Copies of this chain bind each other. A is one copy, B any other.
């Protein structure tokens, strides 16, 4: 029997609509570096979906690359970025932000989230510190929607964070590597236009959300980053055949596909959660999106691993391990049932 892949949301290729668009456009000749009509059209669709027609869109290839490029583009050498302690840039990027010279300032997080008042307190302390000219200046807040723990910020929380960022004159940057799964979450109330309204920059993840690869960076206020094209090039993040990103995002933003893409993941997650709850597993984080964290007895892991590919998170206690299942746009009832059968033993 083939293994069931639930380790992450990038285990398969592209959504059929995306693949189809790539195949159809394959022999068309276009200019390189994203200066083609596919990109132009995709950008217009994205800006329309975000209700900020005056904004800018740039396409990059992957998440870590997008994070470090944006952060380096907006911060000067002595400025740092505030992040939840488990934020992707703080914990999982091998020091990509530091490579470009910037400190990641970590704040304690609850379920992967930080609050407006934490950010405000940090900035206030900095501003009140008589030695602040010897310190790293906080100049950006970085959050993920959904977070690395599958949780989401509510609109109220996002607005509050946006307000303290503007009050303290720091940028708000939202990492949307898994944004489709936040948008598809029943309890979510943060829309694309909300993100455009409350952030200085955010991105709409493609790699984990139905594309082969790609992240669409939205800058609601045009011109925020002068010469961003050159910055992308210098940071090794410019795709020569840039139209591949345009073709994919064009497909993702046709007929509202992106907003619907996460639905199968939600359905699968809900059923898996219900099963885990039924079986009495501890799930330390609430799971409104497609990531499911639960503690499992160490001695059950080998037999699980024979049938299911999951992600190791950390030691939970002496006898248990915290692991993660991720559902995806590609989740099917069949696969979900097979997983539940495995879990039920």
Residues of B within 8 A of A230 (CB): 78, 94, 133-135, 137
Counting CB contacts under 8 A, is A103 at the interface?
Answer: yes
A92 CA / B129 CA spacing, docked (Å): 12
> With A14-B26, A26-B19, A29-B11 in contact, do A78 and B101 touch (Cβ < 8 Å)?
no
Of the candidates B8, B104, B237, B330, which one forms a contact with A65 in the assembled complex, judged by CB atoms under 8 Å apart? B237
Interface positions of A from 220 to 244, Cβ below 8 Å from B: 227, 229-231, 233-241, 244
**A62 interfacial contact with B, CB 8 Å:** yes
Is A281's CB within 8 Å of the partner chain B? no
Chain B residues with CB under 8 A of A53: none
A94, B312: Cβ atoms closer than 8 Å? no
- Chain B residues with Cβ below 8 Å from A32 are 7-8, 10-11
Which of A7, A26, A92, A237 has the most chain B CB atoms inside 10 A of its CB?
A26
Give A279 to B94 CA distance when docked, in angstroms: 51
Q: Please give me the residue from chain B that is nearest to A135 by CB atom.
A: B94
Q: Could you tell me if A240 and B227 are in contact, using CB atoms closer than 8 angstroms?
A: no
Closest CB in chain B relative to A127 CB, distance in Å = 13
Q: Which of A174-219 contact B (CB under 8 A)?
A: 207-208, 212-213
A2 to B98, CA, bound (A): 45
Please tell me the number of chain A residues within 8 Å of chain B, measured between CB atoms. Answer: 75
A339 within 8 A of B: no
* In contact, B68 and A236 (Cβ under 8 angstroms): yes
Q: Are B77 and A312 in contact (CB under 8 A)?
A: no
Per a CB cutoff under 8 Å, which of B14, B130, B234 touches A94? B234
Contacts of A22 in B (CB 8 A): 13, 19, 22, 212
Interface flags for A91-112 (1: CB within 8 Å of B; 0: not) read 1111110111111100000000
This protein's copies in its complex:
4
Q: Is the CB of B212 within 8 A of A133?
A: no
Answer yes or no: A30 CB below 8 A from chain B CBs.
yes
Q: Which residues of chain A from 4 to 34 have a CB within 8 Å of any chain B CB?
A: 5, 7-8, 10-14, 19, 22-23, 25-32
A61 interface neighbour in B5, B26, B61, B69, Cβ under 8 Å: B61
The reply to whether the CB of A257 lies closer than 8 angstroms to some CB of chain B is no
Whether B212 lies near A241 (C-beta < 8 A) is yes
A-B contact pairs, 14 of them (CB 8 A): A7-B31, A12-B28, A13-B27, A19-B26, A64-B236, A72-B77, A77-B234, A78-B227, A80-B95, A92-B131, A93-B134, A96-B235, A213-B239, A213-B244
